[in-house]
Each structure stands twice: as structure tokens, then as C-alpha cells.
Amino acid sequence: MVVKLIYNNKYRKMKNTLQIIDFIKNHSGVKRESQVAKLLDMEPPALHNHKKRGTIPYKKLATYCENNGLRLGDVLGPAVGEGEDKEDSDITNSSVQEEELLQNELIAAQRKIIKLMEENASLKDELLKKPTPLSKANGA
């Protein structure tokens, strides 16, 4: 699953792919994008392609965050250098907490979807391996 980095609402702006790569570099202490690719368990050309498209592999980023004690929301947003508008400064703590809760629920739901998709694929493979009544009748 790949996340296109277009999240941009009234309260937060998501970091772009370059900012996410820079975040990982700073957090891990690596200097090169090829090292970032290895941290994300992917090949450097694949990371380069994601960078060109402005996407990031969600599952790999989530795994990196999990392995390094980071929250996905810390890596994805808000963008560095993004100041708050006057309107944004009126956000209450409860609405920020509510947004974080919703983000966590979204992440959990996306993980469930990934798990179900993997389960669905394995069930399809299993189903394709079973002989059908027609193949039994034909002696196959």
C-alpha cells in the first residue's frame, strides 16, 4: 500500500516525501538516501521512484516507525517550517487529542485492511489449488 502525500487540512499539513526522507536521515543519523532505503527495507531505486512520484510506502514507513518507537503522525506531519495561522491557534487540546485518536484508528484500520488483503490472497491461492468437481469427473 502506498500513500500519496496529499493530506492537507485546516489544522495540519503533511510533510512531503523529501521532508520524510530528511526526517528519517536525522532520526537515524544516516547521510544517504540509499541508507534510508535500507532502513525502510527497500531498494534505493524504489525509494527514488517514490520520491519522484511524491509517494511513500505506507507499510514500510509504519514498520520503520514501529521498530524505532516513533508515532507515524510524528513522521508524516506537520511539515517542518509550517507556521500556524491565527485560525489554527484556536485549536483546543481536546480537538488535537481527538485528531490523534482518529489517526490511530485510521492506522489500525489500514493495518486490518492489509491483513485482510493478505488473507484474501492466500485463500484465493488455496482455492485455486483445490480440484473442482468437473476436474474430478474428467479424471484430471
Picking from 95, 80, 17, 79, the residue whose alpha carbon sits closest to that of residue 50 is 17
> For residue 100, is it within any domain?
yes
Picking from 19, 100, 97, 8, the residue whose alpha carbon sits closest to that of residue 61 is 19
Summarize the confidence of residues 3-28 as an average pLDDT: 69
Q: Do 32 and 62 share a domain, yes or no?
A: yes
In the chain, the number of structural domains is: 2
Q: Do 6 and 69 share a domain, yes or no?
A: yes
* CATH classification of the domain holding 67: 1.10.260.40
pLDDT confidence of residue 44: 94
Summarize the confidence of residues 1-30 as an average pLDDT: 69
Q: Do 108 and 63 share a domain, yes or no?
A: no
Which three-class secondary structure state does DSSP give residue 55? strand
Compare 114 and 10 and report the one with higher pLDDT.
114
Domain enclosing residue 10, as ranges: 1-80
Residue 108 neighbours by CB distance under 10 Å: 10
What pairs with residue 3 in β-bridges?
56
Summarize the confidence of residues 90-113 as an average pLDDT: 75
Helix extents (H) in the chain:
17-28, 33-39, 44-53, 58-67, 72-76, 93-129, 133-137
Measured CA to CA in angstroms, residue 90 lies from 8, 42, 87, 93, 95 at distances of 18, 41, 6, 10, 10
> For residue 87, is it within any domain?
no
Q: Model confidence over 75-89: pLDDT tens digits?
A: 887 654 444 444 444
Q: Quickly tell me which residue has 524505532 as its cell.
A: 68
